[in-house]
Amino acid sequence: MSLTKLIPSPTQRLSERSTPAAANAASAADKPLVAVQSAAPPYGHRRGWTPRRQEDFGDGGAFPEIHSRQYPLGMGQPQSASSGPTLPMTLGADGRVNFDAVVRQGQRADKVVHSKFSDLLPKPIDEDDPSFQRPDEESIKDLTEKTRDALQRLVESKAAASNPVRSAERTGPAQFIRYTPSQQGAGYNSGSAQRIVRMVEAQKDPMEPPRFRISKKVPRGPPSPPATVMHSPPRKVTSKEQADWKIPPCVSNWKNPKGYTIPLDKRVAADGRGLQGVHVNEKFVMLAEALHTAEVKSREAVSMRAKVASRMQQAQREKHEETLQQIASRARGERAGLAPAAEAAEAAAEARERDAIRRERAEQRAHERNRKGGGGANDRDRDISEQIALGRPALQRNQQDPEAAFDSRLFNQDAGLASGFHAGEDEIYNVYDQPWRANASSAGHLYRPTKGLEEGASADEELGRLASGTGRFVPDRRFEGTGGGAGGSRRDGPVQFEKQVEEDPFGLDDLFDKVKRSETVGTGSKRPASGHRDEGGSGRKRDRRD
Amino acid sequence: IEPVQPHSVHTLVFRSLKRTHDMFLSERDCLPAPDPTADQVRRAVKAKDQFGPVLHMQSSAKTARPAAGKQAAIAAAPAGSDGADSKSALIPASAASAASQAASSADPGSAASSAAAANTASVQVGEERMLVPKRAPLMPKPDWHPPWKLYRVISGHTGWVRCVAVDPLNRYFVTGAADRLIKIWDLASGTLKLSLTGHISTVRGLQVSDRHPFLFSCSEDKTVRCWDLEENKVVRHYHGHLSAVYGLTLHPTLDLLVTCGRDATARLWDMRTKLCIHTLAGHSSTVAAVASQSAEPQLVTGSHDCTVRLWDIAAGKSLVTLTNHKKSVRALAIHPTQFTFATGAPDNIKQWKFPDGQFLQNFSGHNAIVNALALNEDGVLVSGADNGSLHMWDWRTGSCFQRHTSPVQPGSIDSEAGIFALAFDRSGSRLITAEADKTVKIYKEDETATEETHPVNWRPGLLKKARY
């Protein structure tokens, strides 16, 4: 609805030329200030003039006296295929601006590019619409044929490369072309307006190898322009979803290919120890219990049997003894008249009791002695680890004199530099200045009890005999000069070896000495020393080789 | 006077809402119909107000432009085309008649006008007749399909069953598995007929040729083999793939084989000479699915770079690149009779139109990695996912009418549920599923189901502004 059509048109036009002054100005404005020249100025008068439009060139070409870029007929003008970053705005058939010109820039005009919002909207399927129906048989057949031909050509060209050489291919028949050149005149083409050209296919030599090297690799051209993205950008990931997809780093018990240093708590955490439930079968426990009970029972049975057997044996022995005693008493009685047999039996029983008591007491005494620890005879013969285990004081353990029990360096520590500094000597090595066990004899430590124990001798006696010295563990002969303390003399310095005089059976040394002495005497006179030197050298050499 | 029935406020409000909804739903985005008298009055009032003093000087040439121009006409047209129900009470009779005229006068005439008529309707408003774009109807009612049920489980493979193909004469079907075997099963009874060995790695693609006694198989060991089914042995190898081959398809009319794989290319092979005619490069990631047809564009590929490409195989170049998906496209299905196809990705399954790849609609709801799609002639689209779920969709409307998850084979754990391949048999009545629990499952439509026993679970709703 336009109101301008409704209202009447204005009857009086208000123009700029109403006032005379304005009219003059308008008339003046109407006249152009500069006369527009239609053609170029003539030769000689062109100074300061430049051709601006195609019409300025007229019929001819560029003006050499005008020093500016000129493109008559547009020739030589750089083709701005990409005229900067701007595209001309065009309108489509429906009258709307083609906004997808940007997207369709480098492509053919008929290429299918989806760029509108309407391409995203759903459309219904209209079964009656012919565009929803498949094309008819004929068009499909045509398409099939075309495709087949195209592909066949490709296949043939590829297969021909591997085919064995056949005879020369027949060239097609010659073609005649009637050609009408654009430049016509009396001078061209000897006056005639048309020409006839005979076109013949050049024959291809079947044995000819390929003419061009196509193995050279050429970089790929630019790809086709990217397709428009017809979906919304991917949704932002929520923190919950991100947390769901978090994968903890792999900490393996077996592999560490990049050699990372992983703290122990992380290693243990990845272990999976707590995750496994160790299920032990109950039958293991049952088996163990059964074994235990079986063992106990068998032990009981064995001990019972042994007890019974020993009791029976004892009873037998007693009976035997009884019978023997009876026999003996009877015999005694027979010898000294009839003595009462009962007394002898009582006496024997008492004697046995007393023996038992004696034995017990001896055992007790020995036990007490053992408990107390003894004077040291025992300790001396024990191994050092046993002594430590029993808790004997160090003094007893080492069996040194009380003065040497403690290191002298521990005392008088307040003396400062005077004690222990040794004037800065680092190499003092006086730890092992004394033998380890000076007093303890090695005999006590290397005792091995022999099988043949004398009957009746107590263990105490045995030990005493051994400790004092069986004479078995004394070295036969000592090294000269060894034996610390009272034994051999203490070494103050390194061992002094005596040079042994070698036996010289042939007396060669005396010979050499004599020769040397005679040489030294005769060096005053001039003698070729080189010869001697040589000799000496050769002699030396010989010596060396020997 | 009838006594007023007492109702709760909630009921009253809801009912009134429903009435309002029903009444105005069809004209949701439409402006009210133009009323010529009201228009005239308005114009008169305005003219008097603004130009009262000069109105008498009006020139006789006064073109009476129709009031409310095109917008009202647009409003009238879809309302008219949308089913003449009780809602047409508001629509002026003239417009309704005009719309009906337009519907009837969708004369074929020339191709251009018919195309125009498809998208526009000729509407007469006032004295003018003009072409006005048609609006799509909102939420059409989906068709009823009988539900699918499992009726056979075939176990024989010792590895994931990765691919299925059906004989053109519907006698047998072939499966390829991760145990490197290709097994041929009888379709009617499900018994094993033949096992073919030869592949070194998982068999990923299978196809039985319509016109030759050949079976084509491709595998993760980069080989593509042609088996002669009369001799049961390999007769051709197609050498050229640089990496695992994931998909295989045969051209329906030409003797061509197309394979796609992990080297981001699809290769076109001449069946007879074993030559690679074209190496279709363009994808930037693994090409997971390939499908071919006899009409242009003859090849469709879907890739893990979230794009779908339509190719011109004569030139070896891609015609269109569709970037609507946000996640890898693993499944493709071309409709047997319609000129449409579907692509499947974890975000959505999308429906497209040939030849330009025009987007039609989304099948949204299967939120899982869709490994396979299969299309029926009855308009049933089946999508099989990595979690073992099968969704059945109505092709025309995009509504899901069945969701089914089969239990895994006894002996398999629940996480071994997954569908790798789907195929309808040649009749479209049996669905063969290749699964990750090493079984092949066959589904058929439930004969006992009717519209009453399994009603369509659909409610008309307003189209929300969907984000794509």
Q: Tell me the one-letter amino acid at A383.
A: D
Rounded CA gap, B128 and B113, in Å? 18
Bigger pLDDT: A44 or A420?
A44
Among residues B460, B458, B453, B451, the alpha carbon closest in space to that of B145 is found at: B451
Q: Which of residues 250-269 of B touch A (CB under 8 A)?
A: 253-254, 256, 268
Rounded CA gap, A447 and A430, in Å? 32
User: Do you know the residue count of chain A?
Assistant: 546
pLDDT tens track for B193-217: 999 999 999 999 999 999 999 999 9
pLDDT tens track for A210-249: 899 888 898 988 888 899 999 999 889 999 999 999 998 8
Contact A155 B361 (CB under 8 A): no
Which residues lie closer than 8 Å to B450 by C-beta, 6 or more apart? none
Among residues A163, A140, A154, A162, the alpha carbon closest in space to that of B270 is found at: A154
Supply the DSSP string of A317-366, one letter for each residue. Answer: HHHHHHHHHHHHHHHHHHHTS---HHHHHHHHHHHHHHHHHHHHHHHHHH
Please tell me the least confidently modeled range out of A118-122, B162-166, B212-216: A118-122
Q: Tell me the one-letter amino acid at A532.
A: H
Among residues A376, A408, A409, the alpha carbon closest in space to that of A395 is found at: A376
Contact B54 A7 (CB under 8 A): yes
Candidates A5, A155, A227; nearest CB to B323: A227
pLDDT tens track for A400-440: 566 656 666 666 666 555 555 666 777 877 777 777 666 65
Q: Which residues of B touch A125 (CB under 8 A)?
A: 338, 340, 351, 360, 395-396
In this predicted structure, what is the pLDDT of residue B358?
Answer: 96
pLDDT-derived band at B283 (thresholds 50, 70, 90) equals very high
Rounded CA gap, B416 and B419, in Å? 10
Tokens of A322: 């009884």
Three-class DSSP category at A310: helix
Contact A151 B254 (CB under 8 A): yes
Please provide the distance, in angstroms rounded to a whole number, between the alpha carbons at the two ends of chain A: 136
Rounded CA gap, B212 and B446, in Å? 35
Q: Which residues of A touch B350 (CB under 8 A)?
A: none
pLDDT-derived band at B118 (thresholds 50, 70, 90) equals low
Q: Which residues of B touch A134 (CB under 8 A)?
A: 295, 337-339
Q: Are B319 and B312 within 8 A, CB to CB?
A: yes
Q: Are B136 and A123 within 8 A, CB to CB?
A: yes
Sign of CA dihedral A158, A161, A166, A170: positive
| Angle at alpha carbon of residue B298, lines to B294 and B302, rounded to 5° | 130
Which of B43, B326, B393 has the most A C-beta neighbours within 10 Å, making it the best mutation to test the interface with A?
A: B326
Give domain limits for chain B.
Answer: 158-445
Please tell me the least confidently modeled range out of A289-303, B92-106, B163-177: B92-106
Please tell me the least confidently modeled range out of A169-173, A309-313, A393-397, B266-270: A393-397
Which of B269, B275, B329, B335 has the most A C-beta neighbours within 10 Å, making it the best mutation to test the interface with A?
A: B275
* CA-based nearest distance A238→chain B, Å: 17
- Is residue B369 left, alpha or beta, with left meaning phi > 0 and alpha meaning psi from -120 to 50? beta
In this predicted structure, what is the pLDDT of residue B224?
Answer: 98
Q: Which residues of A touch B256 (CB under 8 A)?
A: 151
Asked if pLDDT for residue A77 goes beyond 90, the answer is no
Contact B114 A130 (CB under 8 A): yes
Taking the domain B158-445, which CATH number applies? 2.130.10.10
Q: How many CB atoms lie within 10 A of CB B60?
A: 4
β-pairing, B214-219 with B224-228? antiparallel
Contact A148 B323 (CB under 8 A): no
Asked if pLDDT for residue B104 goes beyond 50, the answer is no
- The CA–CA distances, whole Å, from A175 to A171, A205, A235 equal 11, 21, 66
Asked if pLDDT for residue B149 goes beyond 90, the answer is yes
Please tell me the least confidently modeled range out of A170-184, A257-271, A469-483, B269-283: A469-483
Average pLDDT over residues B347-373: 96
Instruction: Give strand pairing partners of B389.
Output: B405
* Interchain CB contact of B40 with A (< 8 Å): no
Strands of B376-464, DSSP E: 380-385, 389-394, 400-405, 419-424, 430-435, 439-445
In this predicted structure, what is the pLDDT of residue B122?
Answer: 72
Rounded CA gap, B189 and B152, in Å? 9
HSE (side-chain half, CA atoms, 13 Å) at A341: 11
* Interchain CB contact of B273 with A (< 8 Å): yes
**ipTM of the complex model:** 0.72
Rounded CA gap, A379 and A390, in Å? 10
* Interchain CB contact of B239 with A (< 8 Å): no
Rounded CA gap, B441 and B190, in Å? 10
Please tell me the least confidently modeled range out of A159-168, A191-200, B28-37, B340-349: A159-168
Contact A124 B325 (CB under 8 A): no
Among residues B308, B363, B313, B359, the alpha carbon closest in space to that of B332 is found at: B308
In this predicted structure, what is the pLDDT of residue B309?
Answer: 97
Asked if pLDDT for residue B424 goes beyond 80, the answer is yes
